[in-house]
Structure 1
């Protein structure tokens, strides 16, 4: 074989090897399991019983933070109840009373693991007539 042909074959082989490694890396990334992720949002005029969107976790504790709260009756407290989305009545866990968020601070509640599943929180669950606005809602798990 002449040296030019050999060099061309080696270059072609390297290109194929690099393309193959890139394909394996891409498949490896795509095959990674999806991980639960924390999220942030806000609440505008949340009526009693307002429900957040659902999130799935694998049994971690849940921390829910509110920053910048106000309500329409100047009660300066908002009840946050963790709930689990299941078939049939959704179980509810303890209700945290958030007050620091009304003074410009952040209110926070942490619920220990309730097993894996889909969760959400309800605001002022079973209260009458109090709407709430929250500038920043953070859910961490």
Structure 2
């Protein structure tokens, strides 16, 4: 076979393979299952009305966990809020975290149902004068 023709066939085969892999990658991304998102941090001496960072949620339940709590009091109250522009932010139930005070690996958690897509945050100890420290906090949504 002519070496020039063989080279052209190889180049054509390479292009077909690259296009095929590209299509497979796009199809794989389109049909992959939705993944839950999360983030972790800590708190140091936060007081009344402290607001966490915001996160964007496409809908679904939200779980917040505190591990290794200390406070001026004996409880850390956590309230979930939806961040709305140009109007008051709605808030949802408050979870009272007490178990996380039972040692550095003790965990308290709160679960909030689906409140739709949007930007969310939580506040700590609204209406209380207590400060709180949390070794590890996790937000899963």
TM-score bin, normalised by smaller chain = 0.7 to 0.9
Aligned to 2:91: 92
State whether residues 36 and 56 of structure 1, in contact with CA within 8 Å, keep that contact through their aligned partners in structure 2. Answer: no
Size of the aligned set, in residue pairs, is 135
> What TM-score comes out, normalization by structure 2 length?
0.83
Aligned to 2:15: 16
Moved over 6 A (4+): none
User: Which blocks of at least 5 consecutive residues in structure 1 are unaligned?
Assistant: none
Answer yes or no: is 1:81 the counterpart of 2:79: yes
> What TM-score comes out, normalization by structure 1 length?
0.83
User: Which blocks of at least 5 consecutive residues in structure 2 are unaligned?
Assistant: none
Q: How does 1:52-131 map to 2 (within 5 A)?
A: 52-71=52-71, 73=72, 75-87=73-85, 88-104=87-103, 105-128=106-129, 130-131=130-131
RMSD over aligned Cα, in angstroms?
Answer: 2.3
Shift of 1:23: 4.7
Instruction: Give CA deviations for 1:85-106 in whole Å, capped at 9, x if unaligned.
Output: 1131111111111011011210
- How far apart are the structure 2 equivalents of 1:5 and 1:85? 64
